[in-house]
A = this chain, B = another copy of it.
Amino acid sequence: MTTVASRFQGVIPPVCTPRTADGAIDVPSLENLTRHLLDGGVTGLFVNGSSGEVTHQTNDERDTVLKTIAGVNAGQVPLLVGAVEQTTNRVVEEARRMVSLGADAIVATSQYYAISNAEETGRHIRTVASAVDVPVFVYDVPVRTHFKMPTDLLLELGREGVIAGVKDSSGDDVSFRQLLIGAKDIPNFDIFTGHEVVVDGALLGGAQGVVPGLGNVDPAAYRRMYDLSVAGDWAGVAAEQDRIADVFNIVYTPKPGRLSGNAAGLGAFKTALVLMGIIKTNVMSAPMLSLDEDETAAIKVILERTGLI
């Protein structure tokens, strides 16, 4: 695997969490998926993120997931681990437990369910960062937290060394670009896009990495795109991005209205991984439904035409 400049740059997929038919964490499948990602050339792994259904897992399950991935990874790439809880006190507990189990960095969101504001959010992140001795990244995901991290706050936290970077899943490309520009003079501050289909623009604008849920399915494609960007071959990057966008169509195969947004997207990744022989079932965490036979067949068509099976 080519080395990349910083510990936290490049392609860092949020690892899916396979379950067995009866709903338990499927450890062998998770081990296999981890190997698939490392073989695909990823430069880091994002553990216990939204794509990993972290919010649907009990604490015991979260621990199992991190221990399993850490065991296979054995230090090959850094593990960025989510501490996804509602409020400061709970995030601190979660972050400390994750660090004790091997997290190389912690990824934390703003508070949710709580109705907060920018000033509280600043204190929240500072408290989390001071509670652990590994780097902390902010995960900006307003579609879930219903709070958009202010660019000014992110830059302030970066300049003061409180946070090591940002995973942006805000869907707000203007603020993303302004974050990239504002952070140019901040050393050791890495910015990742979480959006699978706009990685070319993100890299052209200066992003240090990408955290694509679709990277579970095709990690090598994201690695190719990243390497082309390092080489300055932007037309190549865009062409690869267009190919990936077709793979991304798997998330639109569920019948309209049958599944929640969560279940459709993550279920499509899992179903593709089953079809590719990497995990055993496409079972989702309760109460989410899994993709059915028709939807699976539609995904098979896409995987075949994009050369993934």
Q: Which residues on A are within 8 Å of B, measured CB to CB? A: 55-58, 61, 84, 86-90, 93, 111-117, 119-121, 123-124, 127, 143-146, 171-174, 177-178, 181, 195-198, 200-202, 204-206, 232, 234-235, 237-238, 241-242, 245-246, 259-263, 285-289
> Quick one: copies of this chain in the complex?
4
Given A115-B144, A181-B245, A242-B181, verify A260-B120 contact (CB < 8 Å). Answer: yes
**Are B93 and A58 interface neighbours, CB within 8 A?**
yes
User: Which of B86, B146, B202, B235 has a CB less than 8 Å from the CB of A234?
Assistant: B235
User: Which of B57, B93, B172 has a CB less than 8 Å from the CB of A89?
Assistant: B57
Given A115-B260, A181-B245, A286-B88, verify A195-B174 contact (CB < 8 Å). Answer: yes
User: Which of B89, B177, B259 has a CB less than 8 Å from the CB of A198?
Assistant: B177
**Are A58 and B89 interface neighbours, CB within 8 A?**
yes
With a CB–CB cut-off of 8 A, which chain B residues contact A88?
A: 56, 285-287
User: Which of B61, B198, B205 has a CB less than 8 Å from the CB of A241?
Assistant: B205
**Are A238 and B204 interface neighbours, CB within 8 A?**
yes
Quick one: closest B residue to A121, CB to CB? B287
Given A173-B173, A232-B235, A262-B114, verify A198-B197 contact (CB < 8 Å). Answer: no
* Nearest CB of B to A176, in Å: 8
**Are B205 and A238 interface neighbours, CB within 8 A?**
yes
A121 and B286 CA atoms in complex are apart in Å by 10
With a CB–CB cut-off of 8 A, which chain B residues contact A84?
A: 113
**Are B205 and A287 interface neighbours, CB within 8 A?**
no
A245 and B261 CA atoms in complex are apart in Å by 34
With a CB–CB cut-off of 8 A, which chain B residues contact A285?
A: 87-89
With a CB–CB cut-off of 8 A, which chain B residues contact A86?
A: 55-56, 86, 113
With a CB–CB cut-off of 8 A, which chain B residues contact A234?
A: 204, 234-235
* 20 A-B pairs (CB sep. < 8 Å): A55-B114, A84-B113, A86-B113, A112-B112, A114-B260, A114-B262, A115-B143, A117-B260, A119-B260, A124-B286, A146-B146, A174-B198, A177-B198, A177-B201, A181-B245, A181-B246, A201-B201, A204-B237, A205-B238, A206-B238
